[in-house]
Amino acid sequence: MAADIETLDKQSATKAGAAGMPRLHQVIFAALLALALAAPFMLYPVFVMKVLCFVLFACAFNLLLGFGGLLSFGHAAYFGSASYVAAHAAKVWGLTPELAILCGTAAAAALGFVFGGLAIRRAGIYFAMVTLAFAQMVYFFALQAPFTGGEDGIQAVPRGDLLGIISLRSDLTLYFFVLAIVFTGLLLIYRIVHSPFGQVLKAIRDNEPRAVSLGYRVNRYKLAIFVLSATLAGLAGSTKALVFQLASLTDVHWTMSGEVVLMTLLGGMGTVFGPIVGAAAIVTMQNYLAGFGAWVTVIQGTIFVIGVLLFREGIVGVLSRWLKKSL
């Protein structure tokens, strides 16, 4: 897996012009933006906003797994705690939406710094278990802490007025605010991946001892990417809290951590556009299968199993191989 991505990275690096982004990627981003601008007029805006939030969440997760090579099984902790803090800030402190989102994101960043700093002391599957265990700790905290509302969560979170001026009560206005956040987030992730910092990360992912011997302080890079990933996951979680006007235990539960892994795996780990496709596919599936109860879990498990056994490159990974272009 790593070797394939490496060669593709080289191709994209050589084809990237002075603008920093290859033409193909520019075209795809433009097409996605056009699609997203048209979507609320054809689909239910809240559904599309849900897709957007999970797209950002999955891309943030992929930043860590696909480019940092670190499998966190506890990303719900950052998504969910940011969701709680943003909801609390908007409802109890009465902050404006952009400040509430900033508060949530900052909380996720702080949590990511603490947990990430501890988790990177182990590698591989231990890393996955440590992150999962910390996320479970956050879950228990959210279950018991007074301000999270226990089983009820924080409900009826006001959407408020953007900068205190523009009301976000209309779904469509909120939609464009959410789209702006998510698209900025995606471009930021793209920038991180293709920066010198991102290149060092890939080197660490592919051959850590080599990177150490070249003089890189590997743990600092790992911590940095962990915090970045947690922060962006927090941005997604805070935004989600405003969209649904709700922060609940679902956001911090381990099933949420599993879902984001599934989205990334299905779309294609280590690809730029894979998590976008994966998140859209999984959220759509959940939407249409919502009436089937526990069958959703069974289907998600089946996708996991098939994905791991037969389809490890993911949808975009396969496309990328067919087109012989890095996507």
* Nearer of residues 231 and 257 to another protein, judged by Cβ: 257
* Nearer of residues 290 and 294 to another protein, judged by Cβ: 294
Alpha-carbon gap, residue 72 to 229, rounded angstroms: 10
* Nearer of residues 135 and 182 to another protein, judged by Cβ: 135
* Nearer of residues 137 and 212 to another protein, judged by Cβ: 137
Task: Tell me if 100 sits within 8 A of 305, measured CB to CB.
Answer: no
Measured from the CB of residue 211, what is the shortest distance to another protein in angstroms? Answer: 18
Alpha-carbon gap, residue 283 to 312, rounded angstroms: 20
Measured from the CB of residue 129, what is the shortest distance to another protein in angstroms? Answer: 4
Q: Which of 185, 142, 198 is nearest to 279 (CA)?
A: 185
* Nearer of residues 128 and 242 to another protein, judged by Cβ: 128
Measured from the CB of residue 25, what is the shortest distance to another protein in angstroms? Answer: 27
Task: Tell me if 28 sits within 8 A of 34, measured CB to CB.
Answer: no
The β-bridge partners of 152 are none
Q: Which residue has the tokens 């996955």?
A: 128
Measured from the CB of residue 272, what is the shortest distance to another protein in angstroms? Answer: 21
* Nearer of residues 134 and 177 to another protein, judged by Cβ: 134
Which amino acid, one-letter code, is at 320? S
* Nearer of residues 165 and 309 to another protein, judged by Cβ: 309
Q: Which residue has the tokens 């990275």?
A: 9
Measured from the CB of residue 167, what is the shortest distance to another protein in angstroms? Answer: 40
Q: Quick one: tokens of 75?
A: 């990303």
Phi, psi of 162 (to 5 degrees): -65, 125
Task: Tell me if 107 sits within 8 A of 115, measured CB to CB.
Answer: no
The β-bridge partners of 162 are 166
Measured from the CB of residue 308, what is the shortest distance to another protein in angstroms? Answer: 4
Measured from the CB of residue 141, what is the shortest distance to another protein in angstroms? Answer: 7
* Nearer of residues 106 and 129 to another protein, judged by Cβ: 129
Measured from the CB of residue 319, what is the shortest distance to another protein in angstroms? Answer: 21
Q: For the chain, give me the number of helices (H) and strands (E)?
A: 14, 2
* Nearer of residues 47 and 254 to another protein, judged by Cβ: 254
Integer CA distances (angstroms), 15 to 29, 91, 268, 269, 318, in order: 17, 48, 21, 21, 20
3-state helix, strand, coil in the chain (%, to 5): 75, 0, 20
Which amino acid, one-letter code, is at 249? L
Task: Tell me if 100 sits within 8 A of 242, measured CB to CB.
Answer: yes
What residue ranges bind another protein (CB under 8 A)? 1, 71, 73, 118-119, 121-126, 128-130, 132-134, 136-137, 140-141, 143-144, 254, 258, 261, 265, 293-298, 300-305, 307-309, 312
Measured from the CB of residue 125, what is the shortest distance to another protein in angstroms? Answer: 5
Q: Quick one: tokens of 90?
A: 């908007």
